[in-house]
Amino acid sequence: MNKAQVFDFFQRLAEANPHPETELESGNSYQLLVAVVLSAQATDAGVNKATRRLFQQVRTPEDMVALGEDGLKQHIKTIGLFNTKAKNVIALSEALVADHGSQVPDDREALEKLPGVGRKTANVVLNVSFGRETFAVDTHIFRVGNRTGLARGKTPLAVELKLEKAVPQPFRLHAHHWLILHGRYVCKARTPECWRCIVADLCAFKPKTPAPRGKAAPASAGGDA
């Protein structure tokens, strides 16, 4: 895509959803950090189901340390890799208490030093909790970036760096949410629903998937939808 097409791409997504938000439920930056760590290789819906009761009991790192690893496992045992995740969440909570005054740091390097926290998790926390213009490349964004031609790359980091260069203002703050939601609900992994995609005419993916019988493409999708 050229610059004008990229601007048009995000403008359409923004008009359709002016205030995109993460679908992970949390009440503060610490709970968000925990939720994002738990969401690795798991669905947001599954994490939310597990954390609703947990977050009624746990609001701070001290609360989590007091709950303990075994107690945490009882809350998150429905989530994949829950044993490893419980160990990491307790360890990162202890580190926050010991090294950060029980506060989630607003620094990428400090976040990535916490157990279980990688670049994607750090980017989510920086964006959602601290308003940073970061691009948290998950499987949805990786797919959408490559499939559409918006940001092609062989690794999540390569796609992230392409997005850093390509995404213009005023879309940078919410860009990764628009892309995640688009990948989750429209540009799906197995069968992208091109017939109802509002940016289909800007997308490099061929061939476009046709509308099922009885369904019509949205008027704003462009002539090639």
Whether 165 is catalytic: no
Burial of 70 (C-beta count, 10 Å sphere; 0-12/13-18/19+): exposed
* Known active-site residue 120: yes
Q: Identify the active-site residue in 73, 85, 120, 208.
A: 120
Q: Is 203 annotated as a binding residue?
A: yes
Would the annotation count 194 as a binding residue? yes
Of 73, 85, 138, 208, catalytic:
138
Cα(15)–Cα(17) distance, rounded to whole angstroms?
A: 6
Annotated binding residues for [4Fe-4S] cluster: 187, 194, 197, 203
Annotated binding residues: 187, 194, 197, 203
Catalytic positions, written as ranges: 120, 138
